[in-house]
Amino acid sequence: MASVSFLEGPLIGGRQLPGGGLGWLDARREAGARRFTELGLPTQKLESWKYTRLRPLDGTCYQPVAASDDTPRIDAVPGIAGTQARIVFVNGRLRDDLSNLGDLPEGVRFMPLETMLRDDPEWVEAHLGTVAGDGPDRGESDQAMLALNEAMMDSGFVLHVARGVRLSKPVEVVYLGGFNDDAIAYFPRNLIVLEQGAQATLVKHHVGQGVGAYFANAVTEISVGDGAIFRHYKIQAESIHATHVTTLHTRIGRDATYEAFALSIGGLLSRTETSITLAGEGAHCGYHGAYMMRGNEHCDNTSVIDMAVPHTSCKQVFKGVLDDEARAVFQGKIHVARNAQKADGRMLNKTLLLSNRAEIDSKPELEIYADDVQCAHGATSGQLDTTALFYLRSRGIPEALARNMLVQSFLGDALDEISDETVREAFLDRVIHWLPAHCYLAGEWKESA
Amino acid sequence: MLEIKDLHATVGGTEILKGLSLTVLPGEVHAIMGPNGSGKSTLSYVLAGREGYEVTGGRIIYMGEDLTNLEPEERAAKGVFLAFQYPVEIPGVPNSTFLNEAVNAVRRYRGETELDKIQFIKMLRAKTKELGMSDEMLKRAVNVGFSGGEKKRNEVLQMAVLEPKLSILDETDSGLDIDALKIVADGINAMRSPERSSIVITHYQRLLEYIVPDKVHVLAQGRIQRTGGKELAMELEETGYAEFAGEAA
C-alpha cells in the first residue's frame, strides 16, 4: 500500500534527515509518522478530496533519494531575473552550487531549513507548526499530507524578516524534480515569518524536467506580522510524471497584507490546499491563481479563507484554461466568523474549456456567521467566444494566434492581480509559452500592455 | 470587384439568403437596405466567412476568385473587411497590439515584410490623426469601455489600417448620434477611391446623407427585391418597407 511505503522504505534510519538528533524534532517526526499511518492517504470519501484521487501514488513506491545519490547535473535552472537570492533543490537535495544567498540586508534570514536547524534550532522549534498546527478550527482534510510532511521533511527553507525590515527585491526558491530512474519523493518544509512592519516578496518554482516519476509533498507556513506585507508567488510547472501536493497555511496579522498568486501550468496530478486566517483587524488577503492544463493533467485548488475578526477583506480570482482531457477542481470557501463584522470577501472562479472532454468542478462557498458583511462569489465555465474569434480572424489574424490572444485575454485580469511588475511579466511569459504555436513575440505584448 | 450569383445560405439549418444576386464594380458604393430579419447581417457574415453561415448554393466571386471556401483570415488578407454592427470587446489585449498583429498577419499572408514596431507606430499615428482619434484609444484594451461612437470609430480605424479593397459596413450607423455619425462617415469617405468598393448595410436612410451611394438595393426575404439610385433611399424613408415585407414581416 502506498501509504505505508513512504515510511517503511530502506531510507528511514539510513539517511540522516535534517535536524536528526534534535529531540523535539525527532518527536515531531515520530508523531507525524504515527498520525499518517493512522489516517492513510486521503480518499474521495473526505469532502474536500471528493474530486481528486491521488491515483499516481497507487502501487508505486516513491522513495527519497539516498544521501549517497548524486543528484543530476543541471545547467539551467529556471528562474526570474533580478532576484536578490536563490535557493535551489534538485530532487529534494540542496544544491549549494546552484544556490546564491547573495547579500541579504541586516535582519533578513533566508536559508535552507537544514542550515537553520544547525544555526538556530531554537528559532525553528519556536515557529515550526505554529501556523499549521492541529488547531480546533482546522479541518481533517489536509492532515494526512501535513502529517506525512512532518514525518519526512527533508528540504525546504526559512525566510525570516525582522521587524520593520523591507526586502526590496524578490527572493527565490526552486524545487527541481525529474532526471531519475526510480520513483522518488521529496518533502519540502518551508517556514516564513515576517515580523511587524516587515516586507518581502518570494517566488517559488516547482519545476519538473526530464523523465522519471516523482512526488513532491510540500508544506509552507507563513506568519505575516502586524502591518507587514508579504507577496508570495508560485509557479507550478511540474513534469507530466509529477504528483505535486502543497499544503499552505497563512496567518495574517492586524493591518497586514498577504498577496499570493499560484500559477499552475504543469503536473500530472497537483493539489494545492490553502488555509488562510485573517487574524487581525484590518488584515487583507489577495489569493489568486491561474491554471492551464492539457493532456490528462489534473489540477486541484482548494482553499479556505477564514475571516476571523472584524474589518478584514479578501479577494480571490482564479482562472483556468483546460484543453484535451484535462481536469481542474476549484473549491474555495470564505468563512466569516461570528462577530467578524464589516468583512469584505470576494471570490471568482472562471474556466475556459478548449475541449469538450475537459472538465472543471467548481465549488465556491460562503459560510457567513456575521450579519454586517459584504461577500460575493461567482463561478462560470465556458468555451472560447466564437464571435470574438471571428472578429479577430476577420482582421486577418490566423485562427491559432486568435485563439492564443483570447486565452491570454481571458487570463489577463487574474494576472493583473500580481502587483510586482517583474513577476507579473515573468508569469505572463510562462502563460504565453504554454500556449500552442506561440507565433508572436512575448516582448511585443509586454511593451504595449 | 464582387459578383454574387444566386446565393443561398443557411444559418442553423434555416435558409436566410434565397437566391441573392449583386454586382459591385471597382470604386462603387452600394447601399443595402431592408427590414429587420431580411438577411442583411447574414449577407455580411457570409461575405466575411463566419463559421455557421453555410453557403448552400450560388457563388461569390471576388476579384475573379470564389470566396466560398476561404477562411475569414484569408479573405481579410485578400482585402475583404467587415465593420461589425457590434464590435467585440477583448479585455487585456491593447488596441495597438491587436492592430499590429492584424497588419502583420495580413502582410505575412501577402508575402510582404512585416512592419517593425517603429514603422507600425508611425503608420498608426498618421491614421489616428487623419481620423481625429486620440492615441489614448490605442493603449486601451480593444473596445473595452469604449462608447458606441468610439467602437465604430475603432472599426473605421481598423479599416484605414488594413486598407481593404472591399469594405462591408454592417449597420455602422446604429447607436450613433449625429456627430459620431459624421466622424465615422468622414472616415469612410476618406477611403473612397477608384480601386475600392464598399457595401453599406443600413436600416435607415440617414447614413446615406453622409455616404452617398452609387446604387441602393432593397433586401427582403433573402433576395434583392429592387435596385435603384440614391433616390430609392429617400423613397424608402417615406414609404417604409411594407411593400417588400411579405410573409417575412
A412 touches chain B (CB under 8 A): yes
Pairing of strands A269-278, A242-252: parallel
Do B51 and A386 lie within an 8 Å CB cutoff?
A: yes
The pLDDT of A240-256, averaged and rounded, is 96
- Give residue A142's pLDDT: 62
Is the Cβ of A445 closer than 8 Å to some Cβ of chain B? yes
pLDDT at site A443: 39
Kindly report, residue by residue over B130-145, the tens digit of the pLDDT: 888 888 889 899 999 9
Q: Per-residue pLDDT tens for B210-242?
A: 999 999 999 999 999 999 998 888 888 888 887
Task: Residue A387: list chain B partners with CB under 8 A.
Answer: 88
On chain A, the residues whose CB falls within 8 A of the CB of B92 are: 408-413, 416, 449
- The single-letter DSSP state of residue B65 is E
A411 CB neighbours in chain B (<8 A) are 92
Q: How confident is the model at residue A14 (pLDDT cuts 50, 70, 90)?
A: very low
Q: How far is CA A374 from the centre of its chain?
A: 27
Total CB pairs under 8 A between chain A and B: 93
Of the candidates B81, B88, B96, the beta carbon closest to that of A448 is on B96
pLDDT above 50 (res A137): no
User: How much is the pLDDT for A447?
Assistant: 37
Of B73, B77, B81, which has the smallest distance from its Cβ to A399's Cβ? B73
**Residue A2: its pLDDT value, please?**
40
Q: What is the pLDDT of residue A139?
A: 53
Residue of A390, A424, A432 to mutate, testing the B interface (most B Cβ within 10 Å of its Cβ)? A390
Amino acid at A368: I
Q: Cα–Cα–Cα angle for A216, A221, A223, nearest 5°?
A: 160
Give Cβ neighbours of residue B129 (< 8 Å, ≥ 6 apart): none
Give me the residue from A396, A413, A448 closest to B102, CB to CB.
A396
Q: What is the mean pLDDT of residues A372-391?
A: 95
> How many whole angstroms separate alpha carbon B228 and alpha carbon B239?
15
Question: Residue B164 carries which DSSP code?
Answer: -
Chain segment A41-91, per-residue pLDDT in tens = 999 998 889 999 998 888 788 888 875 556 677 767 777 877 889 999 999
Spell out which residues of chain A touch residue B101, defining contact as CB-CB under 8 Å: 397, 401, 405, 440
A442 touches chain B (CB under 8 A): no
Average of per-residue pLDDT values in chain A = 89
- What average pLDDT score do residues B169-185 get? 85
> Where are the strands (E) in B38-142, listed by range?
53-62, 65-66, 80-83, 90-94, 141-142
Say what the pLDDT of residue B246 is: 60
